[in-house]
Amino acid sequence: MIKEFLISLLHYFVDITTAVLIAAAVYLSFSGQQPSSTLLWEILLGGFVTALPSAALLCFDPKSVRKSLLLWVIHFLLIFGITLLLLRLFGWCSITPLSVLLTFVAVMCIYSFTCFVHYLVDRKHTALMNQQLKKRYAEDARTGKEPPAAHP
């Protein structure tokens, strides 16, 4: 369980930080501002802080669609709240209705990017596992072995 959490934390940290760096690069390009080394450290810290609840909440395996959707909504709202708090702490912007709306859009984009990356990785792993299972069952069929019983 701890190993899975740490692996998930690392994946989310990399994905979130990459998406935030892309968003910052786009923003800085349009605004004409030059990034400071402090900004880069703040992005890294922000990526880690938002990766923690991502790894913690999303490692649960709810058995129903309703619980899964509720977990995703709670997760998104938590990430959005943490992002607003970090914006305020880092002094990146003052909290106004417009900045909250823009932050919501940015978090939606970053959230979508991260979900899409995880979907692609999971799809690749699933395809690889299915290929290995087919190969194993084909070998078992040739040798006359019974396939292993599935675990409930």
As for how many domains the chain has, the answer is 1
- Examine residue 52 and state whether it is found in any structural domain, yes or no: yes
In angstroms, the Cα distances linking 30 to 97, 103, 112 are: 21, 16, 22
Number of H helices and E strands in the chain, helices first, is 4, 0
- Examine residue 17 and state whether it is found in any structural domain, yes or no: yes
- Examine residue 9 and state whether it is found in any structural domain, yes or no: yes
Question: And the tokens for 5?
Answer: 């959490």
Looking up tokens 């692609």, which residue turns up?
Answer: 120
Q: What is the mean pLDDT of residues 82-92?
A: 89
Q: How far apart are CA 85 and CA 146, in angstroms?
A: 57
Q: How far apart are CA 134 and CA 131, in angstroms?
A: 5
Which contiguous run of DSSP H or E holds residue 125? helix 97-143
- Examine residue 10 and state whether it is found in any structural domain, yes or no: yes
- Examine residue 149 and state whether it is found in any structural domain, yes or no: no
Report pLDDT digits (tens) over 104-150: 998 888 888 877 887 888 888 888 888 888 888 877 777 776 656 65
Domain hosting 80: range is: 2-142
